[in-house]
Amino acid sequence: MTKDRKLIIAGNWKMNKTAAEAAALVAELKRDLAKVKEVDIVVCPPFTALSEVSKIILDSNIHLGAQNMSEHARGAYTGEISAEMLKEFSVRYVILGHSERRQYQKESDELVSKKAQAAHAAAIKPIVCVGEKLEEREGGLTEKILETQVRGSLAGLTKEQALETIVAYEPVWAIGTGRTATPEQAQSAHAFIRGLLAEIFGNEVAPKMRIQYGGSVKPNNARELMSQPDVDGALVGGASLEARSFCGIIFNSI
């Protein structure tokens, strides 16, 4: 499969895996994925496993991501983690504005944009998540929601920063439900998002930006999803928790 943009497939482990379990999983991934060059491979363990995982993937083709970070550089923010702290473990990516954080921690587009700017200031690439809820899709509001989220969450980024930003389209109704978007639904949302990116950052930038799909990606649906023209990778939840299924997704995508 050839596409100008290199596929990026990331595992979002969410609140799963102790440091010891994470180490075991990533050691398997390192062995099984050693020959893969066609895809940027990223794992996003919980904060408490970043140190262990970072040691194991040193000198491998697996990159490290975090699942969140503070919009602040330092200071009196109990319980928060800064970009600088992530850099210590060679974190290269950070998931921002995941729908679970938007829902449970009430994260707004404005907050996500501040975090994205803080990530760029530390040369960490943000993976900015957007996506509509089921009732919004059924109410014909998908594009309106995506437009608000994309414009709000990427506000203030320069063109250069946009090129180092990944957008993840994750329809909320497809997350953890086993109900994936059809390849046509994914392509249509991704094409719409790319159109917005062109309006915001220009026609030079938008075609170079990568847009991941997330929501019940499995080995058996990865190929069709990844072959859509505007789908440039996957953000994988449940299926990233086992080496066999995560590797299956990657091998079926190349």
Give me the active site residues, please. Answer: 98, 170
The three-point CA angle 116-43-70 to 5° equals: 30
Q: Cβ 137 to ligand 13P, closest distance in Å?
A: 16
Q: Which is nearer to ligand 13P, 42 or 205 (CB)?
A: 42
Q: Which is nearer to ligand 13P, 235 or 247 (CB)?
A: 235
- Let me know if 153 is exposed, middle or buried by CB neighbors in 10 A (0-12, 13-18, 19+): buried
Q: Cβ 99 to ligand 13P, closest distance in Å?
A: 7
Q: Cβ 123 to ligand 13P, closest distance in Å?
A: 23
Q: Which is nearer to ligand 13P, 102 or 120 (CB)?
A: 102
Token readout for 88 is: 């210590």
Report how far apart the first and last C-alpha atoms of the chain are (Å, whole number): 6
Q: Cβ 59 to ligand 13P, closest distance in Å?
A: 27
Residue nearest to ligand 13P (CB): 237
Range list of β-strands (E), the chain: 7-12, 39-44, 62-66, 91-96, 125-130, 166-169, 210-214, 233-236
Q: Which is nearer to ligand 13P, 98 or 137 (CB)?
A: 98
Residues that bind ligand 13P (CB under 6 A): 12, 98, 170, 175-176, 214-217, 235-239
